[in-house]
Amino acid sequence: MAVKMRLSRKGRKRAPFYHIIVADSRSPRDGKFIEKLGTYNPMTKPATIEIDREAAYDWLVKGAQPTDTVKAILRFKGVYYKKHLMRGLKKGALTIEQVNDLLGKWTDAKEAKIEARKTQVKADLAAFHKMVSGEAKPKAVVADEATKQAAEAFKVTADENTESAVAEVAENVAEVSEQVEETVEAVAEETAAEDTTSEPESPAADESDKTEE
């Protein structure tokens, strides 16, 4: 009888939840099984995996063949790492104390990494909720003393430059106004002079026109 370590699907539609089982390879996917090793929930972030490492290692040593997904889960949970260490123990390269110590350190580091990722996911989710609810406020930028002094100096310089520019524009406007007034007066004088110098029409011409009539 070929024994396989595989997943058995549970859960409702579009919300899968799996049992990690040991079963006869000829049995249906969700049919009878020999032993349940744990659970696998891919809907959480990160995925939630609960498994009996010792039972999984025993079945792996006995020759049970895991599917690709179950093999990835066993590697993730350190079952294959334990198999590697136990091979070193059989060859005499390691002692049982060293095996337990290395396996314990590896497991602790892995669990710490998983917990850190869970914490980060919760923090990101809380920040997202605050952002969409309008509670999050932009962080105020606190400038140091040197930056404040530089800003004040720039403001003073800008004000001085603005005042000088306004004064220069006012002077230019006054000069242009004076030039316009002088030009208008000159034109008026020339017009008056032309009016005084122009002669009236000759009355003799009018009389001649009358006699001809």
Q: What tens digit of pLDDT does each residue of 116-134 get?
A: 999 999 999 888 888 888 7
Tell me, yes or no, whether 7 and 59 share the same domain. Answer: yes
More confident residue, 16 or 135: 16
From 3-12, 59-68, 161-170, the region with the lowest mean pLDDT: 161-170
Tell me, yes or no, whether 184 and 114 share the same domain. Answer: no
Q: What is the pLDDT of residue 212?
A: 45
More confident residue, 133 or 200: 133
More confident residue, 66 or 173: 66
Considering the domain boundaries, does residue 35 fall inside one? Answer: yes
Tell me, yes or no, whether 56 and 115 share the same domain. Answer: yes
pLDDT at 208 over 50: no
Mean confidence (pLDDT) of the chain: 79
Considering the domain boundaries, does residue 109 fall inside one? Answer: yes
CATH number at residue 21: 3.30.1320.10
C-alpha separations of 68 from 49, 72, 151 in Å: 16, 6, 63
Token reading at 100: 């337990």
Tell me, yes or no, whether 126 and 156 share the same domain. Answer: no
Tell me, yes or no, whether 159 and 81 share the same domain. Answer: no
Considering the domain boundaries, does residue 208 fall inside one? Answer: no
Say how many domains are in the chain: 2
Alpha carbon 178 to its chain centroid, in Å, reads 62
Tell me, yes or no, whether 113 and 166 share the same domain. Answer: no
Contact 18, 41 (CB under 8 A): yes
Considering the domain boundaries, does residue 82 fall inside one? Answer: yes
Tell me, yes or no, whether 17 and 42 share the same domain. Answer: yes
Token reading at 155: 């403001």
Tell me, yes or no, whether 102 and 49 share the same domain. Answer: yes
Considering the domain boundaries, does residue 194 fall inside one? Answer: no
Tell me, yes or no, whether 109 and 181 share the same domain. Answer: no
Tell me, yes or no, whether 119 and 164 share the same domain. Answer: no
Backbone angles phi, psi at 52, to 5 degrees: -85, 105
Report how far residue 128's alpha carbon sits from residue 144's, in angstroms, rounded to the nearest whole number.
30
Tell me, yes or no, whether 31 and 78 share the same domain. Answer: yes
Give the domain range for residue 11.
3-133
Q: What tens digit of pLDDT does each residue of 59-116 get?
A: 999 999 999 999 999 999 999 999 999 999 998 888 999 999 999 999 999 999 999 9
Q: What predicted TM-score, i.e. pTM, was given to this entire model?
A: 0.59
Considering the domain boundaries, does residue 203 fall inside one? Answer: no
Considering the domain boundaries, does residue 142 fall inside one? Answer: no
Tell me, yes or no, whether 102 and 30 share the same domain. Answer: yes
